[in-house]
Structures are given as structure tokens and as C-alpha cells.
Chain A
Amino acid sequence: MPIYLRPSTLNDALSQLRAGSYRLLAGGTDIYPATQRADLAEDIIDLTSLSELCGIHNMPDGIRIGACTPWSMIARAKLPPALCALQQAAAEVGGKQIQNAGTIGGNLCNASPAADGVPPLLVLDAQVELARAGRIRKLPLADFLLGPRQTALARDEVMTAILLPGSALTGHSRFLKLGARAYLVISIAMVAVRLTTEHGRITSAALAIGACSATAQRLPLAESALIGAALFGAAELVTAEIVAPYLSPLDDIRASADYRAEAAVELLRRAISQTGRDRV
């Protein structure tokens, strides 16, 4: 019979993890669909009893989101406008049932190229906090995601939190997701945009695209192009030329590669315009 552990403290979880080989289970919204069985065949550590892994906290240097915080909690929380994109994404992950169970950390550790959580966190310069017995390390999210279904998480590590630095909590943000139906849809493409402005001009810009490359990407060229630009009309500065270098879209059942690349640019422009309308 496989082992199923449900520790109530992080320390217990980490020592159990050091002592054996376990699959970490958070919301379960990716692990259960991957099996036809009525139960899970692997040895499991269930992280959802670890209260320190759940919740959103204001810290002196930013915001800390526990890795096992469910999407519905993020969607409902009162958060600064810089996190609008994250909250919009939270409300579009699956349906309510998935949002009530699925967690932000699980979404990152599952490392789908179409993970809804990644672009909004990239534009927040998110770091992930990874704990192993006796050591905690922090990694920029972009360094944590290595490829489709590949992360930097070590066998004996648990993702404990997502850290949003204070420097990235300025401005307004927007998330747009494109799929072939209204709800319960895996993105064809998605974008997140965070802009800060002074006197109608953009002072900082963070842009990210998901589902158009192995892992979601920030777009440094497009971001630079926006700095100093007037907010109104800024969307037109985003062109395929400065976005394409970061994308490697696939042809698949959901869309063609060409369409993905084109749609991503259009979504970015719209997100920028809409962010402007939200009064940056």
C-alpha cells in the first residue's frame, strides 16, 4: 500500500521528505487527472494541512503568498492594483471547483507552458521560496521554470511561498487569456501586463506572454520600447518584431503557431490599453 502522509508542520514535511521518496500533493487538480486509478499509486505527502503554506501576507519587503493558497482565495483577496492580473488569472483557472482546490504553488510546480499563474507572476518579478530541511533558498520564477513539466525543485524541496518584491507592487496590471470557449479552457495564448506611469507617461513596464513558448516569457525589448512613452497610444509600440524573439509557438490542436504569435501581440496591445483605462 502506498504511503500517504499529511503533516501539519513544515518541519515534519521536510524531514519526511528527506527520509523518503514522495510525490508532493497540493490541490490535486493536476495529479488526479493524470491517472485512471481511483487512488494514487505513489507515496504522497499532502501539503494542504500546512497552515504556514496557505494565505497572503503583507511583509516589510513585499507580499508573500503561501504556495498552497488556493486560487479562489487569491481572487477574493484585497490586493494592490499591481496584482489585478494575478487576480484575473485566478478567476480564470478552470471553474470554481478548480479554483477552490488548485493552488498557486501547484500551478508553478506543474510547470505547464500554459500555466495561468505564470505570466502575472513574471510581471510581478516573483521569486519562489524553496525549503528543504535546514535550508531555504529563493529563486526568480523565471529560473525556477526550466521547461515543460521541468522545474528547479529538488527532490527534497517543498515550494513554500511566492514572494512579490515591494519594488514590483507599483502600477496597474491586466491579464488576458485567449481560448476557444468561455470557461474551463486551456489558453491558446495569454498575456500579463504591469505598467506604472507618471504624468501620463510610462515609467516602468513589465510584459509577459504564456502558452507561446516552453515556459512563459518576459519581453525585455517591448518593455524598453514602452518606457517614456505616453500611455495612450503606447499599445501601438508593441510590434511583432520586438515580441517574436521571445516566442517559440507550437502548431497544435488548439491553434497554429502563426496565429499564436499574432494573437499574443494583439492581446498584449489590448492589455496595455486596458491597463491604461484602469488609470495607472
Chain B
Amino acid sequence: MKVSLTLNGKAVLLDAEPSLRLSELLREKAGYCGTKVGCDAGDCGACTVLLDGAAVCACLTPAARVEGRSVQTVEAQSETLTRLRDAFHRHGAAQCGICTPGMLMAAAALLAENPTPTAPEAKEALGGVLCRCTGYTKIIAAVCDTTPSPAIPMPGIGHAVGSATPRLDGAAKLAGDVFGADLWKPDGLVVKAIRSPHAAARFRFGDLAAWAKAHDAQVFTATDIPGRNLFGVIVPYADQPALAENQTRQRGEAVALVAYEDGSTPPDLTDFPVIWEKLHALTSPTEATKPNAPRLHLNRPDNLLIKGHVQRGDPATALADSTHTASADIETSFVEHAYIEPEAGAAWMDGDVLVIRACTQAPIMDRDDTAAILGLPHDRLRIIPSAVGGGFGSKLDVSLQPLIGLVTLKTGRPSRMTYSRAESMSSTTKRHPARMTGRIGCDADGLITGMEFDGTFDTGAYASWGPTVANRVPVHACGPYFTPSYRATARAVHTNNTTAGAFRGFGVPQAAIWQDTVYDRLAEAVGIDRLEFRLKNALRDGQTTVTGQAVNAAGIADCLIALRPHWQRALAQAQTLPNRGVGIASCWYGCGNTGMPNPSTIRLGITPQAVLTLHQGATDIGQGSNTVIAQITADALGLPLAQIQLVGPDTFLTPDGGKTSASRQTYVTGRAAHAAGCTLRADILRRLNMGDGATLILDNTCLTATEGNRRATLDLAEMPTNAQGYALMAEETYDPPTTALDANGQGTPYAVYGYGAQMVELEVDPQLGTVKLYKITAAHDLGRTINPLLATGQIEGGIAQGIGLALMEEFIPGRTENLHDYLIPTTGDVPEIESILIEIADPHGPYGAKGLGEHVLIPTAPAILNAIRHATGAEITRLPALPHRILAAMKKAKP
């Protein structure tokens, strides 16, 4: 039918099936891709548009229903939207930007009725839009503060570091950024995957050619793969086929691809000729490690992927000699990343180069894995990361890159693919479920004497980041506390569950839940205040970690001391109010790879036209590296931040910035940026024969240095250019100075650690077991705050994920592959958050900066559990702490 509507004030006539989702009408027929699709089920609100002024989910609205009506999308220009965009920018309310269009439209509907909403009103109005990055705090603040304000001026020379500069890529986020699903070449193919409905199965195909012919489609299987049909983020463990060959080891594993003409009716995939033979699936590590359990991978006996181990001293004796010991057995669940952007991307040929533009956290790793699968040399494969609508670890692994790459390479035609929410949830990695046990001991004064920890992590069908989790956990399981005798083991065990991989913290959040639970029990046994107990044991400079590394710039004591007045106030309050509890927990986290190289390289150039260009290969998945790396560069170089033009990431345009994971970008890429800035500055000053105190000005085509009454100028236009087209250029690499761990896990796994502590104030309903969070106070030592607006945004967002981990998130393969059965926090679930930024400068970090991105999630869940225990006596041993589990634990505590 022809649908005529007023779209953002303009009359348009579109041709569409009457029942076509409005989201599809807008994106595919009208070409307005600002409206994002996160679930196609009304669960996430990302597609919120205004229909005659009312907020609706475009994914649930038939095209026929907008006939004759007015539709407003994020592309609309209205006074309300302008004010909202300014407020969002100023407050740092957009991180990755995928929920931003939905948030803006829901907020516009609110402001039309209520121009000055209160925070509770804003939370209610935005309760239907999910955000996974921000923790909502800055979004709600922005919606309540839309009075036009003057733009925040860009920092001057030498003042970029430390300034609360709004994101440099903020305007794009607020316009409806261009994510993986939002850009493709016309007249190509649409790709869909055929996936395993079983956790373990053998399969064979029927007559594929006949099916393809009958459905006007092309079919691709493992036999079409020209290279090595195997990928994996850690090369020696690569074990995952891009397309399964004759057996599948988890639900959602792809076995074939169907490609059809873009714009044509999608073929019905329900009669695709694949014959499944369902096999017995191993659904828990207990089952997978039984003597007769089938092996998922023939080279891995007992289905053991890897065992990580750290040992120092003689913990058995230390524990036997301890005045007090406490133990815990804790079990956690699979946790889904639940970024609002399902995996999406497009591929095309540019000459004989295959170009893949998709959402990712690790473009170089994508290139390496995809090139191997497709049998391409690296110079024939270009990876361009799209804007990334949240990653949190799962977009480190390739997903659709080899799939669309295969279709385009085989056909020579453009292709595109967008995962459905169910496809994203069933096939991509999760946080490892953990079963953890062990003991910690202390002396009569409360000083920790020793610890034993044993953790089994369900790593699912394929290796992914299982080795990293198994190695990181034993290094971190003691928490940021001096633990003289120590033994910790973490096993990653294969099952036929969904592959578990990287998720913000690589297993450390699970271990912290265990450790901080035991710490509360020990403090109680000794009879010391829980914060003071932690402070007494806090790692101090000069002490050694459990890997034998001398501690430097340890900020944990400072974090705990900063919380002390809040803690004492909250404890006093909790005593006067029923059912109130206060909990505390802490974190430390090494930044970068564990005892392995992970260099970053930054290129910085100035053209003869005086354009200052930063080639920044670190993907900004919302955490802010586009802004933070530029701030560091600007001050190292000594030119204004506003003059920096960003390029990349793009494997053809930017050097390797490494992966966006392990809280490494601000530190590692930041150090490379600092070095590049310093090198370029030194080069300029040398050419001008000026000292380092000189002030630089880049203007027209001249670079002028001034120091006192001396002044010298470089005429850039006169200078020869190098191969990259720059008159001046610097390229620097930084790799953290670490050492590999020995057989007992001894060594220097990380050069820089960040620290933090959080406290939670809550109330537990005594009859229902429900939790109401009142306030979370978070003190984080980030060495040096490069950008307080972005840093507090990380803290608030990490806390929201920690709340989900503690109270509601439980992924069950085949059961919760949507966003209404799998719950993540909404606007109403995140309490007031007070961030305290502690700056104990690290000698390795750029300007002293440490990583922060993962740290912020680690203490939240254990602090919540400790507060629940404080309020009720309930010992939570199985996460998430759903109301029925809390109530059962309360009854057990006080029968």
C-alpha cells in the first residue's frame, strides 16, 4: 500500500506492506536510520518515535496505522529536541549512543506535557527505554535540566587533561549515530544464518541447491570457506568454526548462510533442508567433568580448557594457625551483555579489497581472524568499526564478520546482516557462571594470614576468553588486600552451554563476590567494623601482591578512607530505620593483558594545511576513548584540544590501538598518545630551536612557538610531506612492562592496577524479600582523572551492571533469549550514585592515569549482598538475589 504521513514535518508517501513495522518503514523505506532497533518486541524502547506526539515503539506499530498521521523521529528538528540534545551533551548522557534516539524521543514526549519534570517524573517517563552504558543518572539529570545553557568552552592549551569536556563525538551520538545496521551498499544481498536449535547435535544438509533455487536465494556452508574454518580470540586456543561442519556444540551456532536480494521478500527459512540429530548435552561443569562425559574438543581431556593457578607461601599452614577463618560457597549465573545494539554490519568489495564495516571492540583481531577464515592476506581485508552500540566484552570476538565477508567474497557483491535479539543472545558470549569455594584466615587483630580459593567457571562450548578468565581470577581473587599466604585455582570447563567469554572484569566480579562475602564474615568474627577491617588489610605501597609484585601507587586505602564518613553516617542511619542495611566491597584490577604483550600505537600528524590529525585505532564503544586519547594527545603536544581531528579506527588508516578491553585504552593507548604528542612536540621545538617551555600556536599554515620574547615559526605549506601526506608526523608505540607468570603464578602480570571501593545503602522488604536501593557511594582511584564527566559516567554505568548482576540477571540458554525474560536495570532500579574520584598517580600511566572501565562494576554486587546480609542476616549463595532467593535466605537465617 501507499502510506502517506507527515514525517518530521514533511509530507511523504511511502510504499510498504501495511503490517510492516514502522521501524522498518522508517529505516528501509524512508532512509531514516536514526531510529534504532534493539529487540523488535517493545522490550527496549530504542525505536521510540512520536506518533501524533505520543511515544510509541516503532517496532510494534504497523505502517498502515501511521497513514495520515504525524511521525517524529530523532532526525526531527524541534526546539524541544534541540534543548534535549544540548542537555544530553552537557551532562554526558550519551555514551555509546544506541539508546539515545529512544531516550530523546521519550523525553520529548514528557517535556511536551511537563517542561520542568522532577527526577521521579523523568524516571517514569523514560522507564520504557533501556540503557546499558550510563546507569541512567546523567540521562535523568539532562532531562531535568533542559534550560538552554551556554556551550561548555573547549579547554585551552595544557588544560585538556582533567577537563570535563563533553564527548568529542557527542553530536553524532545525539543525532542518531551510524551503527552496524545503519550503513550498507545498495543492491546487495541480505544475509541470514541458519542456527542450531540444540545445545549438542550432529547435522547434515538435504538438497541445498534445490532449496536455494526454489527460494531465489544463495546458500553458503562450511565447504565454501576458503581458509581455515576456525577462529578464537586467543590464537593457541582457536576452536570455533565460522560455520559448523557437521556438529554443533551450543545453541545458536551457525551452520549455513542464506543470502537473498536486498529489498526482496525474505525467504521462509523454516523449511531449510537441515537434518538434526540431537545429542546429549552437557549442561554443567559437574556433568562435563564426570569420567565418562563426552569430550567437546578431542584435545581437551575432562573438558578442561585451562586451569589458572597462583600460589604464594603455605596457605594451609597459615589457615591452620589463624585465629579466625571464614569460608563461603557461592554460585553465579550466566550474565548477558545486553548491549542494545545486536550485532550488525555490512561488507563490500573495494577493488580486490574486502571491506567489512561492523560493530566491534577489536578491529585488528577481527582482521586477523576473518582473514584466516577467508584465506586473505591482511592487505586485502579492511575492517572499519561502525559506531558500537555497547560491547562490554562480547564484541571482542568476531560474530558476523566472517559470515558477511564470505558472502561478499564469494559473490563479489555487497552484503549486510543484522542479528535479531534472540540470535544475538543465543549465539554470542556471556559472563562465566562460577562455583566458588574456599577459606580466608586472619589473626586475632584482624590481619589476613592466608587464603585458599577454588573456582570452577562454565566456559561453554568454545574457548573464547576462558583462558583469560582462568588466569585473571587467581591473580585478583584476594582483592586489594595484603595476603601473605595464598593459593587460588580457577578452572574453565567446557559444557554445551553458550560460550562464555569476556564480560567487564573477566571473572573478577564473580571472585569479588566470594571474597567480599568472606571478608564480612571475618570482620564479624574478629569484631571489627567492616570498613576498618578492610582498611587494616588494604594493600600499601611496598607490600607485595599474591604474584610477588611490589605494589606501587596503591589507592585502596585512600578509597576506603574517603568512604569512611559516608559509612559512619549510613551505619548510624541504618540503626534507626527498620530493614535497612549497609554494605561495602572493594576492587583492584590490573589494566591490560595478563603478563602478555598488548601494545598500542598512535600516529599523529600535521598536514601542510595545518590540520592536526590523530590516528586513533582504539574503538570507542561508549567508554570515551575518542575524547580521552585526544585530551592526552593535546596536552602532550601542547596544542588546543579543539584543533585535533580524529581519524579512525580503520585498519587501513590507523595503527593498532589494540582491543578495547581489560581497562587498557586510557592507560596503554593513552601512553602511546602521550609519547606521540611528546615526540611531535620535541620535533617541532627542535626544528624551531626552542625549549620545552615554549607555547605552540597552529594557525593558517604556520606553526609558531613562543617562549618569553622569543618567537619562531614553521611554515608548514613549505614543508615536504611524507608518505602519509604529513609535513610533520610522529608515531609511537607503548607496551606495558609486564612479565609472564611462572608455574606458581608469580611475576608482574600488570604494570598498572586501579582500585576502588563502594558502599551500598538499601532496604529489604521483610515479607517479600525485595530490595530497595537508596544510595551507592563509589570511591575509585583512577590515578589521574583525564575527564571527570566521562569517568563518573563509567562509574554510574558499571554500578548499574553490578546491580543487575546482584539482583536480577540470569541468562538461561533457550529460556531467556529476549529482554523481557532477561531483565536488566531500568531507570527505576538505579539509586542515587555519589562518585568520589581518588587520584593516586601511577608512574606508568599517562599523567598518572589508571584504568577504570571494569573496576567500577566489581564492588557493586558484593556490596549489595553484604548490605542485604547486614539488613536481614540472609546469606545469599546463589546469584542473582531474586526476591524468592532472598526471602528463603532470610528464613534460613532467622527461622
Q: What is A's interface to B at a CB cutoff of 8 Å?
A: 1-2, 4, 6, 25, 27-29, 32-33, 36-40, 44, 46, 48, 72, 94-98, 100-101, 178, 180-186, 188, 253-256, 258-260, 262-263, 266-267
Closest chain B CB from A38 CB (angstroms): 5
User: What residues of B have a CB within 8 angstroms of the CB of A188 in the complex?
Assistant: 883-884
| In the complex with contacts A97-B48, A263-B768, A266-B768, A181-B826 CB distance below 8 A | yes
| In contact, B828 and A182 (Cβ under 8 angstroms) | yes
Q: Does B411 contact A (CB under 8 A)?
A: no
CA distance A98 to B55 in the complex (A): 9
User: What residues of B have a CB within 8 angstroms of the CB of A38 in the complex?
Assistant: 20-21, 24, 28, 266
| In contact, B21 and A94 (Cβ under 8 angstroms) | no
CA distance A254 to B823 in the complex (A): 10
Task: Name which of B541-549, B582-590, B634-642, B805-813 contacts chain A.
Answer: B805-813
Closest chain B CB from A91 CB (angstroms): 8
Within 8 A of A (CB), among B413-427: 420, 422
| In contact, B17 and A39 (Cβ under 8 angstroms) | yes
User: What residues of A have a CB within 8 angstroms of the CB of B821 in the complex?
Assistant: 186, 253
| In contact, B826 and A184 (Cβ under 8 angstroms) | yes
Q: Scan B106-149; emit 1 where CB is below 8 A from any A CB, else 0.
A: 10010000000000000111011110000000000000000000
User: What residues of A have a CB within 8 angstroms of the CB of B125 in the complex?
Assistant: 96
| In the complex with contacts A183-B127, A256-B884, A259-B883, A96-B55 CB distance below 8 A | yes
CA distance A172 to B683 in the complex (A): 80
User: What residues of A have a CB within 8 angstroms of the CB of B818 in the complex?
Assistant: 33
CA distance A266 to B769 in the complex (A): 11
User: What residues of A have a CB within 8 angstroms of the CB of B127 in the complex?
Assistant: 95-96, 182-184
CA distance A39 to B125 in the complex (A): 28
Which residue of B55, B62, B816, B882 contacts A28 across the interface (Cβ within 8 Å)? B62
Which residue of B56, B62, B128, B884 contacts A25 across the interface (Cβ within 8 Å)? B62
User: What residues of B have a CB within 8 angstroms of the CB of A181 in the complex?
Assistant: 807-808, 823, 825-826, 828-829
| In contact, A184 and B128 (Cβ under 8 angstroms) | yes
| In the complex with contacts A95-B127, A183-B827, A32-B808 CB distance below 8 A | no
Residue of B nearest to A37 (CB): B266
| In the complex with contacts A38-B21, A44-B19, A183-B127, A97-B65 CB distance below 8 A | no
- Interface-centre pick from A27, A95, A183, A185 (highest chain B CB count, 10 A): A95
| In the complex with contacts A4-B64, A183-B828, A98-B42 CB distance below 8 A | yes
Q: Does B344 contact A (CB under 8 A)?
A: no
CA distance A32 to B18 in the complex (A): 13
| In contact, B128 and A96 (Cβ under 8 angstroms) | yes
Within 8 A of A (CB), among B57-113: 57, 59-62, 64-65, 106, 109
Q: Does B40 contact A (CB under 8 A)?
A: yes
Closest chain A CB from B124 CB (angstroms): 8
Q: Scan B876-895; emit 1 where CB is below 8 A from any A CB, else 0.
A: 00000011100110000000
Residue of A nearest to B881 (CB): A180
Q: Does B709 contact A (CB under 8 A)?
A: no
User: What residues of A have a CB within 8 angstroms of the CB of B812 in the complex?
Assistant: 253
| In contact, B42 and A183 (Cβ under 8 angstroms) | no
Q: Does B280 contact A (CB under 8 A)?
A: no
Closest chain A CB from B18 CB (angstroms): 4
Q: Does B711 contact A (CB under 8 A)?
A: no
| In contact, A266 and B62 (Cβ under 8 angstroms) | no
Name 26 A/B residue pairs within 8 A (Cβ), A-sorted: A4-B18, A4-B62, A6-B65, A29-B60, A36-B40, A38-B24, A39-B19, A40-B62, A94-B42, A95-B45, A95-B106, A96-B106, A96-B124, A97-B106, A101-B61, A178-B768, A180-B807, A181-B826, A182-B826, A253-B812, A255-B883, A255-B884, A256-B884, A256-B888, A259-B888, A267-B768
Q: Taking A95-B106, A182-B827 as given, write out 6 further A-B residue pairs in contact, using a Cβ cutoff of 8 Å, ordered by the A residue number.
A: A1-B17, A32-B60, A46-B64, A96-B127, A178-B770, A180-B807
| In contact, A180 and B768 (Cβ under 8 angstroms) | no
Q: Does B10 contact A (CB under 8 A)?
A: no
| In contact, A32 and B45 (Cβ under 8 angstroms) | no
Closest chain A CB from B555 CB (angstroms): 33
Within 8 A of A (CB), among B522-571: none
Which residue of A6, A33, A266 contacts B42 across the interface (Cβ within 8 Å)? A33
Q: Does B54 contact A (CB under 8 A)?
A: yes
Q: Does B41 contact A (CB under 8 A)?
A: yes
User: What residues of A have a CB within 8 angstroms of the CB of B767 in the complex?
Assistant: 263, 266
Ranked 10 nearest A-B pairs via Cβ: A95-B128, A182-B828, A183-B127, A259-B884, A33-B41, A4-B18, A40-B19, A183-B826, A39-B19, A266-B767
Which residue of A32, A186, A256, A266 contacts B59 across the interface (Cβ within 8 Å)? A32
Residue of B nearest to A263 (CB): B768
| In contact, B128 and A94 (Cβ under 8 angstroms) | yes
- Interface-centre pick from A96, A188, A258, A266 (highest chain B CB count, 10 A): A96
